[in-house]
Each structure stands twice: as C-alpha cells, then as structure tokens.
Chain A
C-alpha cells in the first residue's frame, strides 16, 4: 500500500522513473517537453561550453522568440540568427519566429503543453502551463543547455498548498483581481518552493484563459508552480490541439497538503497592486484618482482574446485620455487575428490605442515602451518592482484589463464598474 500522492508527486514520480516520491526528495527527471525564447542563446553557450554536440530528444523541444522582436540592434539580431540556426541544425520540434507571440501562450495554443506532462522552460512564468494541468516549472538558461546535452535535470519534490476556490466572481471582477489578492495575502515569497493546486467547486467555472492568469502569477508568490485539474474545460481546449499523447493526473483524495487556503471568489474586489512590489494589492477604491501616463494591456498574464474583449467593451465609443498612451500587445498572433476578425481591434484603435507586435514588449523592460523619470504605468502584466520596465525612476501599478481600459479613458486609476458599458 503506497502513501497517497498529490498531483505533483505523481508527475515527478513518473518523470523520474520512481513508483512514488515524497516532498523534499531530490529526483532526477527527464522532461516531457521543454522550451525557451530569446534567452536560449545562453543555453546554446552552455551547451557548447559543455562540449556537447548532439541534443537529446529534440522532438520534445521548441523555441519561440518573444522578448525583443523586431530587434533593436545588431547584437540582438545576431543572437536571434544563432538561435534560428541552432534550432534548425538540431531539428527542434518547433521554432516559432518572433511575432508568433509570447512563448508561454504560443506553446499552449499550439498544443505543446499538455495535461499531466512535466514541462520545463527557461522563464519564471513557465508555471502558466498549469492552466491545462501540466506541471510546468521554470529553469535557468544554463540548466536548459544542460538538459539539451544530457536529457535530464534535478528537481526537489515540493510540498503542495491546496487552494480551494468557491463562489462566483462578481460582475466586473476578473481572475487577475483574485491573483492580486492572493499575492497580497501571501507575499512575494509566500509560496516559496511550494506547489499550488487549485481545487473546489468554482474551478469548473473558470476558462483556460482565466486559469492561465492564476498559474502565470504563481511566479509572484515564489511558488515552484501551480496547477489546475484537467476537467471538461481543459479537455475542450486541449483535445483538438495536443501534439503529444496525454493523461490527466490528479491528487488522491487522501493526499497530504502543507496548507489549505479557501477563497470565496464572491469576496474579491477589483484590485490594484501599488508601485514597488507585487504584493501591494489594494481594492481599486484605495488607488482611485492616481494619475497615470501609460497603460499597458499586454503580457502573458492578461492579453488573450477574452482580456482584449473586456478592454474593448469599455473603450467602445470612448477615447483614450489625451495625457495617456495606451499600448496594446496581443499575447499572440492568433489573439491578434481573433480580435481583428471579431471587431475588437477596430474598437481599440478607434479609441486611440497603439498596437504593438505580439511578444513580451513593455513587461520585459528591455525593448519598447520604456517610461520616463517620474512617470507611472498602469499595467495588466505581472511585475511592478523598481526598474522592471527599464527605468527605476518610474512607477508601475498592476491591475485587470477592465481597470486598465477604464483608467486609460479617465487618465487616473478608475473602478471600471463606475463606467457604463
């Protein structure tokens, strides 16, 4: 009789060839799928410096350029060229050219991240894959090169925090508001080294896009990753896309958790994270009236078709405030195509939004949309520490697409529920 196992324990047991594993055990694993982006150039460095010549299991590896495209300078252009050549030479399963979208979004859209899989990628927002029931964990770039060379890496089996979602979101409250509330409650390291597993009656009411927002921001509590169960909602999303065979994995009913947290979605209000740290979330009412210079509706957290529909519904027949720049960056080209076809793109442009190529854009702080000294950006992205957007003398606040769109109209932080839509 083996001890009951959590989802993460089951997936890591399979990936490490063990019958079962226990928290804090260190295991050697072979990922089912791994991916990277522009920083893959450092993985190539590591791979070559290790003296490796052949990539292990390239049919399980992809790259999607997203951090800086189109490039600003010859150095970055040369790096991109090197990545393209490497992916081609070593016959990676997929190479997604810049403009396809943010890697986390693209890998899910294209069916490369699948339920029950161990997915490793060289980016802190890799846990986004938990939206479809994958165990998706971030690694460094050298480590990714090590995996290309050896086919494996080591992981510590994490304890799991069980998060039970109950109730229903109120009108005008979005998944992002729940996450800003959770991050505020737990702190930027409150989930440190732990796994979050979402369960409870409200899970089935959340779309894959909303689950993506939840899992994406588990990075902002320092969690190893987070994961949703694979249910009918997941199946409907994954079935027609999956590139690999998959099997749903779930915790045993008597599995042991480090902690349990219950969140009544009905109790959540629209939230704004005040400048400086992700855990400084306050109800929007406490931030109302703060002046803003730039609004960024983008990033892997909140720039999917549903997010942009929410923004468009608010911006319809309205104009962006003359003192505000509104930057809109669809999470992927597919999202861009969706909003072009459904009319939301026209609404956003009509309102005065500037459309940027799909990618990390402003959020990565090294490409476009850098702020001036003393300026304030209200953003649907995930991070607001000093300097994140390329200037430590600027401030960043985080919010939902609804709050971002409403505030773009008024020029100050605004509760979207007070505008008629």
Chain B
C-alpha cells in the first residue's frame, strides 16, 4: 500500500549539510541502532535528537552532497525519518534515500518559508503538495518508479518481488 499522505513534525536543517556530516565514513559499518545514535551528531546534538524524534526533515540547499556512501541514508532511516523535503538535493543522496524508503521531495520554498522545528506538515504524494498550516507548496510529481519503491518499503522490498517473479519465470 502506498502511503499517500505523510504527516508529522519537522526538524529544520540548514544549507550545505554534506552526506559526510550526516554520517561520517568511520560509522558506515555500525548496526542501525548505533547509526541512529551517530546520525547528524557532527552537525549538533540537537540535530541528532530532532531527527530521532520527528519523522520529517526540512532540508536546505545541497543537503546530502558529496560522498555517495549509502550509510548516511541508512542512518536517517534507522533514526525513524520518513520523508525529507526541501533541497535541491544531491543526486546520489536522493537515490540512496529513496532506495531506503525515505521519500525525498524537492521544495526549496518550504525551507525558506520560516518553518521551524516541531511545526507539522502534511505531504500529499499523489497530488504533489506540501501543506504547512494555511500554506500550500506545490512539488513536482513523483515518478512512478520512485512511488513504487517507496510503496514497497525500500529498494530491497521492491527487488524481492522482482527476484520472486524471475524465479517463477525460470521454473515455469
């Protein structure tokens, strides 16, 4: 089932937070629960506490730029993040987040709107809109392949169905 609406409190992060800052390389091989303890700690303890207690990040320009390591995205998933809105985002981080089941939406206006920690937003995936109180922000439609990966839960879940179908095709 596709999650058509994602609703919750936000953590607002600034511009140019690199993926190396989201999770330094030395923490790449930690188990998920320990990655959640480390995620965004390089930025501040408050950022770490924020993303572990609120499901949505409002991210500034170039969030996740730099390294293509996937562990920063895995760490955000481990922390309980469901969606990241703002950007524009770096492409490898964008893909890694999607592949870990985190919805990433380009909506730079939201990041510059004065929104603050703990404010609540509603993301309408199907109609391409983000609502913050009275304000509504349009976002580009999410391509079908991305919707399908998010709906499956992650690229691993999405891939599992394909692998099953491949196996069935071979044995029939």
Binding site for B on A (CB under 8 A): 26, 39, 41-42, 46, 49-52, 75-76, 79, 122-126, 138-143, 145-146, 149-150, 154, 156, 188-189, 192-193, 219, 222, 224, 277, 364-366, 383, 385-388, 390, 392
Contact = CB atoms under 8 A, between A and B. Distances in A.
Contacts of B67: 124, 383
B160 A49 contact: yes
Given A385-B20, A390-B25, A139 B95 contact: yes
- Interface on chain A toward B: helix, strand, loop, or mixed SS? loop
Nearest to B143: A26
B16 A140 contact: no
A140 B70 contact: yes
Contacts of B90: 189, 192, 222
Given A39-B69, A383-B20, A366 B96 contact: no
Contacts of B68: 122-126, 138-140, 219
Contact of B26 (A41, A52, A365, A385): A365
A294 B70 CA distance: 29
Interface in B66-91: 66-71, 73, 88, 90-91
Contacts of A277: 16
22 contacts: A41-B29, A51-B164, A76-B29, A123-B68, A138-B68, A140-B92, A142-B70, A142-B100, A143-B96, A146-B156, A149-B162, A150-B159, A150-B163, A192-B91, A222-B91, A365-B20, A366-B24, A366-B26, A386-B20, A386-B21, A387-B42, A390-B25
A156 B96 CA distance: 15
B1 interface: no
A306 to B, nearest CB: 26
B88 A192 contact: yes
B42 A386 contact: yes
Nearest to B95: A140
Interface residues of B, number: 39
Given A138-B92, A277-B16, A364-B25, A143 B163 contact: no
A51 B163 CA distance: 7
A107 to B, nearest CB: 16
B155 interface: yes
Contacts of A387: 20-21, 24, 42
Closest 6 CB pairs of A and B: A124-B68, A366-B25, A50-B159, A140-B96, A140-B70, A385-B18
Given A46-B159, A140-B73, A154-B145, 13 more contacts: A41-B29, A46-B156, A49-B156, A50-B163, A51-B164, A122-B68, A146-B99, A188-B66, A219-B66, A222-B91, A366-B28, A383-B67, A387-B24
Contacts of A145: 156, 159
A125 B67 CA distance: 8
Given A140-B73, A150-B159, A188 B62 contact: yes
Interface of B: 16, 18, 20-21, 24-26, 28-29, 42, 61-62, 65-71, 73, 88, 90-92, 95-96, 99-100, 143, 145, 154-156, 159-160, 162-164, 166
Given A146-B155, A386-B42, A387-B20, A79 B29 contact: yes
A327 to B, nearest CB: 17
Given A140-B99, A149-B163, A150-B162, A26 B145 contact: yes
Given A51-B164, A140-B92, A188 B21 contact: no
A293 B81 CA distance: 39
Contacts of B42: 386-387, 392
A123 B65 CA distance: 13
A142 B99 contact: yes
B93 to A, nearest CB: 9
Nearest to A278: B66
B20 A189 contact: no
Nearest to B61: A189
A192 B1 CA distance: 32
Nearest to A41: B29
Given A189-B65, A392-B42, A365 B164 contact: no
A387 B159 CA distance: 34
A13 to B, nearest CB: 18
A142 B160 CA distance: 12
A190 to B, nearest CB: 10
